[in-house]
Amino acid sequence: MSLAPFTSLRVGGQADFFVLAQSGQELLDGLRWARDHAVAVRLIGGGSNLLVAEAGVEGLVIKAANSRFTINEDRLGEPVLEAEAGTNLARVARRLAKQGFGGLEWAANVPGTVGGAAVNNAGAFGGETAACLLAVTLLDASGQRERLSADELGYAYRASVLKGRERGDIAVERVELRLTVSTPAQADGRVKQFNAQRMRSQPRILSAGSVFANPDGSFAGKLIEAAGLKRASVGGAEISDQHANFIVNPGGATARDVFTLMRQAQDAVYDSAGVWLRPEIELFGRWSPAEQQALRGRPVLSRG
C-alpha cells in the first residue's frame, strides 16, 4: 500500500503491511498482528509532518482512522472534547467554534489528527496541544489501556515521550482536550482571523507545514530567504515563494527531491549564518543512518 495518499506532501513509497484502523478494536488487532508476527509497527495520523522514504517502510503501518468524538459539558466544570485518535483536528476545531466552544481556534488550520497532535504537540498562532490536553488513552498489543495526563507526556516544543517512542509499541486511542465556553461569533471570528493570517503568510499548495524549527532568537524562514534559497527547487519540490520555511509539492515531487532541498537549505543557512536548522519533519521509513544523521546535525568544524 502506497503511503503517499496518507501524507500531506503526497510523496513516498509503500508500507510492507498496512492497516486502516477505523476503531479501537482495529488498532488493537493491528498491534497484536505485528507482535505475533515479530514485525516492526508504526502508527500515523494525518501524515502532516512525515517524509516517507521512496524505498518504503519496513513492517506494519497503522493509519488511525477512528474518528468519533463527543463534547462532555458537565465535566470538571468546563467542556471537554473526548475524541478518538483519528479525528481530524482542523475539522473538529472549526465545528466546535461554530457551536460556541473555544480553546481550539488556533487548530482550525492545523493539518492532521487529534492523536497526531497529542504525539507531536502540534501548535499554531501561539496555541499548542500541551496547553489544552487533559489526557490521552494509550493501547498496547495486550489490550491494556493506560490514561496519561499532560504532565506525564513530557511535552516540549513539537515533542513528547510518545514521539520519542519511549513507551514502545503503543497506539493513542483517545484524546481529551479542554475547551472554553465562548460564543459562535467570538470563537468562529477568531478562526476566521487565523485563517486570514494563514492565507497571507503560508502557501496553500501541498506541503508538510513548517520544515524547520525556529532557532532561538530568529526565524527559519528568514534565514533561508537571506541565504538566497527562496523559490529554489529540486526536481518537483520547491521552497515556497510565500514562506521560505515551507517546501511545497506543486506536482511531481518525490521524497528524494524534498530531502535534497532540505539539505541544501541547511547547508546554505549554516554557511551564511552559522546556524544549523533542526527539522520539524520526521524522516519515516527506509532512510539510511547517514541520511538521518545528515539532517540531525553537521559536525563542528574549524572555519578558519
> Which amino acids are annotated catalytic?
158, 210, 280
| CA–CA separation, 214 and 138 (whole Å) | 30
Nine-digit cell string for 196: 486570514
* Non-local CB neighbours of 11 within 8 Å, separated by 6+ positions: 4, 51, 52, 54, 249, 253, 254, 255, 257, 258
Whole-angstrom Cα distance, residue 277 to residue 212?
A: 6
Q: Which residues contact 192 (CB under 8 A, 6 or more apart)?
A: none
Spell out the alpha helix ranges (H) of 99-142: 114-120, 129-132
Cell of 153: 507526556
Spatial contact of 228 and 27, defined as CB atoms under 8 Å apart: no
